[in-house]
Chains A and B, each alone.
Chain A
Amino acid sequence: DARVTQTPRHKVTEMGQEVTMRCQPILGHNTVFWYRQTMMQGLELLAYFRNRAPLDDSGMPKDRFSAEMPDATLATLKIQPSEPRDSAVYFCASGLDWSHRFFGPGTRLTVL
């Protein structure tokens, strides 16, 4: 049963600390997405990769956020330095071209 995995599932950190979230997309999928979910804004796209190349990161605060895909089995989202307003659930999703999108269980981030 192929699924997207994310680590860690929960993260509590203090303001100013670096946070790294990891995602393993479904094998064979060529698109990977990072979304952030908050009560106020709902689901917002942060970054999007196709065949490991970053295609859209316009939704990401570039001064503190960075997203990479070092290989086809790993996507990372890094926040440095973290701020309390970054507290949210971060979802990774993968898919094949324009077909179904499959979401991971999310990383719940709390920045104190």
Chain B
Amino acid sequence: KQEVTQIPAALSVPEGENLVLNCSFTDSAIYNLQWFRQDPGKGLTSLLLIQSSQREQTSGRLNASLDKSSGRSTLYIAASQPGDSATYLCAVISEGYSTLTFGKGTMLLVSP
């Protein structure tokens, strides 16, 4: 059974810092990995999707990497802003399945 772990559970940084969020998964047989953002009381917004054959994806100040063989992904946020404050969730679709398995998320607070 696939399990997804995110470290740290919470992170507080001052504005302007670069930061890294970590995600690990137990079964490396995945189709893809997706990073989401969730604001308090809101739904999930898809940020980046990395296919199993890819190493990284970039969108603006966000860069996600995937090391499938070691079961790890990182989300790099450059020059963090207070508007980046949210919970970031990592999820994978395992081979043979169509459903996402989620981590518990990292709650990020960027202070001005």
A residues in contact (CB < 8 Å) with B: 31, 33, 42-43, 45, 48, 50, 55-56, 91, 93, 95, 97-106, 108
| A43-B89, A100-B49, A101-B34 given; A48·B43 CB < 8 A | no
Q: Which of B34, B43, B46 contacts A104, CB < 8 Å?
A: B43
When distances are taken between beta carbons in the complex, the residues of chain A under 8 Å from B45 are 103
| A43-B102, A48-B98, A98-B31 given; A91·B44 CB < 8 A | yes
Name which residue of chain A comes closest to B89, CB basis.
A43
- Asked if residues A101 and B100 are in contact (CB atoms below 8 Å), the reply is yes
**Contact residues of B: prevailing secondary structure:** strand
**Contact residues of A: prevailing secondary structure:** strand
Q: Which of A31, A98, A99, A103 contacts B43, CB < 8 Å?
A: A103
- Asked if residues A42 and B100 are in contact (CB atoms below 8 Å), the reply is no
| A98-B93, A103-B43 given; A48·B99 CB < 8 A | yes
